[in-house]
Structure 1
Amino acid sequence: MKKNAIVFLVFVLLVITAAEMIGMQFIPVGSITLTLLPLVFAILITMVFGLPLFRKGILKTIYSKANVHFSSKYLIFIMLPLMARYGADVAPKIEEILSVGWVFLVQEIGSLGTVLLGLPVALLIGLKREAIGATLGLGREGELAYISEKYTLESKEGQGVLSLYIIGTLFGALFFSILAPVLLDLGFRVEALAMASGMGSGSMMTAASASLVARFPEMEQTILSYAAASQLLTSFLGTFTMVFLAVPLQRFMYNKLSKTKKAEVKEDAR
C-alpha cells in the first residue's frame, strides 16, 4: 500500500512538472485569443492516461478505485490553503470591493440560470429525476451536500449531481479558461469578468481569473481580489440562494414541465 502511494505521488509530480513545462499557451482564433493554463494541460494529461487504452500495468494501479476514492475524499484539504489565499487577495482591495458590494450580491441571482436554462434542456433530452441534481447549480460541493442530505447520492437526484460534479471537475477549468478571454474580446469589462470568475469552484475560478491576468498583468491584484471576493460570497450566499430561491423555482418548473410533457404524450397518443 505504501509503495502504491509513492507511485501515485510520483505520477502526480510528473504530471505537474509536464504541465508547468508546457506553460501558458496563447492560441489566436480570428480576433479572439484563447489562453490555456498549465492546469488545463494537467487535466488533459491525466484524462488521456486514464483512458482504458493506456490504463494498464502501473497506470492501472495509479487509477485504481482506492486512489480515486482517496483523492476525492481528501480534496478539501488541498483546497484549504487556496481559501486562505482568497482572504489574502481580498484584503488589499477591501475598500474598493465594498464600494461595489451590491454588484457582488446581485450576481448571485445568476446562479438561477442553471435552473431556468438547464432544467428544460435536461427534461427535453430525456432526464427525469436526475435533472433535479444535475441542474440545481454547477454541481459543486454546496449542491452535492444538499442533494446528498435530501435525497442521498444513491438516488436518481444523487446520480444527477454526481455526474455534473465529475464533468465539472474534468472540463470546468478547461471551459472557463477559454470562456473568460473570449468574453473579454467580445467587449465585456475585465472587472465584470473577474467578479464572474468566483462561481463556487476553486479550479474554475483560478482558470478564469488567471486567463484574465494573462491578458491584463498590470491589473493582477484587482482581478484576483474581485475573483476571490466573489468566490467567498458565492460559497456563503450561494447556499442561501440555492435553498430559498433555486430549490423552490426548480420544484415549480419541474412539476409544470413534467405535467406538460405528459400532456403532450397523451395528445400524441390520440
Structure 2
Amino acid sequence: MEAARLWRLHLAVLVIAIVAQFIGIQEIPIGIGAILLLPLLYAFLFGVLLNPNVIRRASAIIRNTEVQAASPLIVVAIMPFIAKFGTTIGPSIEEIIEAGPALLLQELGNLGTVALAFPIAVWLLRMGREVIGATFSVAREPNIAIIADRYGLKSPEGAGVMGVYVVGTLFGTLIFAVMASILATVDILDPEALAMACGVGSGSMMASCTGALSEALPAMSDTIVAMSGASNLLTYATGMYLSLFVALPLVEWLYSKSTAGKAVATPQKEA
C-alpha cells in the first residue's frame, strides 16, 4: 500500500533514469583535458529540479511526502554498487596489498578540510563555532554522529556539520564527477591515486567519481572500482578515528587560537 501511494516518486525515478540514459555520456573538451558528463549527473540535476523545496512549482509533480520517502531510499539504491566492490576487490587483492601503505597514508588527506576550509570559514566568512563542525571533516554520516555525541546537533557545531552535509549531498556528486573526469583526461596523476581519492566515505560521491574515472579509463575500470572501494572501506574504518582523535581536537585548538586566545567552551550535549 505504501508503494502504491508513492506512485509519483516511482514514476519520476523511472522517467529520470530513462531520459538520463537516453542523453548518454557527453564529453566537453577543455584544453588538455575534458569534462565527462555522465547519466548520473543528469539524473541528479533532474532530481533537484523536481524537488519542491528547490522549485516550488515542482510540488505539482513531487510532493513533500515523496521527498521524505525518497531520502532513506538513497542508501537502498546505492547498495548494488556497494555490493559490486566485493566482486572486484577480491580479484584485485594483490594490487590492493601492493598499494597498502598508500591506501593507509591517504587517510591523512581527511585533514585537508582543516587546511583548506578552516582559514576560509574563519577569516573570510567570519563563521563562529559552526566552523568546528563544518571543517573538521567532509561531514558524512560518521562525522555527524561524532558532532551529535560531543555537542548535539542543535548546537552551532551541529549546524556547521549539517550545513556541509546538505551541501555535499546536493552538489558533491556533481563536483566529484567533473573533477575526476578532468584529472583523468589531463594525465597528471596516477589513475590508482585518483581511484583512492574517490573513497571519501560517501557512497554517492564515490559512485560518481568512480563512474567518471571508469569512462575516461575503461581499460582500468576493474582496478579503479577495486581501489576506490577499498579506500572507501578504509575511510569508514579509520577515517572516523582520525576525525575524532586528530581532526576535531586540531580544529578546536585552531579555533581557540583564532579567537584571541579564548578557551573553547566545554562541549554540552543537547538535552
Secondary structure at 1:35's aligned position in 2?
A: strand
Report the CA distance between 1:53 and its aligned residue: 4.8
- The root-mean-square deviation of aligned C-alpha atoms, in Å, is 2.0
Provide the rounded CA distance (Å) in 1 between the counterparts of 2:229 and 2:145: 22
Contact 2:81 2:207 in 1 (8 A): no
Report the CA distance between 1:174 and its aligned residue: 0.7
Provide the rounded CA distance (Å) in 1 between the counterparts of 2:102 and 2:182: 22
Match in the other structure for 1:57? 60
1:78-115 CA-partner distances (Å, limit 9, x unpaired): 34443322222211110111011010000000100111
Match in the other structure for 1:12? 13
Gaps of 5+ in 2: 263-271
Contact 1:86 1:232 in 2 (8 A): no
Provide the rounded CA distance (Å) in 1 between the counterparts of 2:122 and 2:112: 15
1:192-232 CA-partner distances (Å, limit 9, x unpaired): 11111111111111111211111211111111111111111
Secondary structure at 2:90's aligned position in 1?
A: helix
Secondary structure at 2:27's aligned position in 1?
A: strand
Match in the other structure for 1:88? 87
Q: Is the helix fraction higher in 1 or 2?
A: 1
Match in the other structure for 2:265? none
Report the CA distance between 1:181 and its aligned residue: 2.4
> Are 2:251 and 1:250 equivalent residues in the alignment?
yes
Match in the other structure for 1:103? 102
Secondary structure at 2:139's aligned position in 1?
A: coil
1:211-261 CA-partner distances (Å, limit 9, x unpaired): 111121111111111111111111111111111111111111111112269
Contact 1:130 1:158 in 2 (8 A): yes
TM-score by length of 1: 0.88
Provide the rounded CA distance (Å) in 2 between the counterparts of 1:181 and 1:8: 30
Structure 1 residues 31-50: aligned runs within 5 Å: 31-50=32-51
Gaps of 5+ in 1: 262-270
Contact 1:27 1:33 in 2 (8 A): yes
The verdict on how the C-alpha distance between 1:212 and 1:48 changes in structure 2, with shifts beyond 3 A counting, is: same
Q: Which runs of 4+ in 1 moved over 6 A?
A: none
The verdict on how the C-alpha distance between 1:78 and 1:245 changes in structure 2, with shifts beyond 3 A counting, is: same
Match in the other structure for 1:151? 151
The verdict on how the C-alpha distance between 1:126 and 1:186 changes in structure 2, with shifts beyond 3 A counting, is: farther
Deviates more, 1:68-77 or 1:107-116: 68-77
Contact 1:86 1:225 in 2 (8 A): yes
Provide the rounded CA distance (Å) in 1 between the counterparts of 2:98 and 2:31: 37
Number of paired residues?
258
Deviates more, 1:10-19 or 1:81-90: 81-90
> Are 2:201 and 1:195 equivalent residues in the alignment?
no
| One-letter amino acid of the structure 2 residue matched with residue 83 of structure 1 | I
Secondary structure at 1:34's aligned position in 2?
A: strand
Report the CA distance between 1:122 and its aligned residue: 0.8
> Are 2:226 and 1:225 equivalent residues in the alignment?
yes
Contact 2:130 2:156 in 1 (8 A): yes
Identity %: 38
Structure 1 residues 127-146: aligned runs within 5 Å: 127-146=127-146
| One-letter amino acid of the structure 2 residue matched with residue 54 of structure 1 | R
